[in-house]
Amino acid sequence: MKPTVMIVEDEASLVTMLRYNLEKEGYLVTEASDGEEAMTVADETRPDAVILDWMLPRMSGIEVCRQLRRKAETRSVPIIILTARSEETDKVRGLNVGADDYMTKPFSMPELVARVRALLRRAKPSQQKGQLTFSDIVLDMDSHRVSRGGQYIHLGPTEFRLLQYFMERPGTVFSREELLNGVWGPDIYVEPRTVDVHIRRLRKALNTNNGSDVIRTVRAAGYALDSTGDQAA
């Protein structure tokens, strides 16, 4: 089946150009011209990748990105954010909204298409095999098993979901609130401190066999899955 790319952009001429180039590449294209519509179209069409403009009417691209990341169905969809100026790109990076790539307008169409292709390629294998890997850690989504260095590790259901969330986006720093939204869900009320408790359990389980610490604590910011380990101490 052809992958579906959703374009979220209010500038009609750019949408036409994007659609033309993506269809030429063999993708199915869906579109939304504002943030609210984007959430509806994403629900209905389950895109394989999203091209998202930062400046949108009603809801900003940043907010759309956050909301897509909060929903289980779109949590790991690759997202490329389009920004008008390079300062905006810096801001998007700084905000850490969970986008996979950024392009500054005006951009070259072949380059954008190439980046979409790369993101789709990266996203595919792990979904097909139902496995995520990070360093020597393997998480199998079908059997709900985790191993490190070939040795089975026992995790509680919350720690499993937490680890899966990290492994889908390695290197990204998540605040406690983002983790609560992404792992527990936006409608469930839990104390932010609960996150620390589960992080501690996850760490302990992962380090059972004297493995190096892969969860980085970022002071005043949150946590990330990282091979550099804890730098807050």
Contact positions vs Ca ion (CB under 5 A): 10, 53, 55
CB-wise, 11 or 140, nearer to Ca ion?
11
Q: Which residue is nearest to Ca ion, using beta carbons?
A: 55
Nearer to Ca ion, 89 or 164 (CB): 89
CB-nearer residue toward Ca ion: 10 or 25: 10
Cβ 61 to Ca ion, closest distance in Å? 8
Q: Are 50 and 8 in contact (CB under 8 A)?
A: yes
In angstroms, the CA 202 to CA 76 distance is: 21
- If 0-12 CB within 10 Å is exposed, 13-18 middle and 19+ buried, where does residue 219 land? exposed
* Burial 40-71, CB ≥16 within 10 A → b, else e: ebbeebebbbbbbbbebeebbbbbbbbbbbeb
- Phi, psi angle pair for 9, to nearest 5°: -160, 135
- How many Cβ atoms are within 10 Å of 189's Cβ, its own excluded? 7
At residue 193, φ and ψ (nearest 5 deg) are: -65, -25
The secondary structure element, H or E, covering residue 89 is: helix 86-95
Least Å from the CB of residue 53 to Ca ion: 4
For Ca ion, the closer of residues 10 and 213 by Cβ is 10
CB of 88 to Ca ion, least distance (A): 11
CB of 97 to Ca ion, least distance (A): 16
CA angle 172, 174, 179 (to 5 degrees): 130
Between CA 100 and CA 77 the distance in angstroms is 9
User: Please, what is the minimum distance in Å from the beta carbon of residue 43 to Ca ion?
Assistant: 22
48 vs 53, beta carbon nearer Ca ion: 53
- Between 10 and 101, name the residue whose CB sits nearer to Ca ion: 10
To Ca ion, the closest distance from the beta carbon of 66 in angstroms equals 18
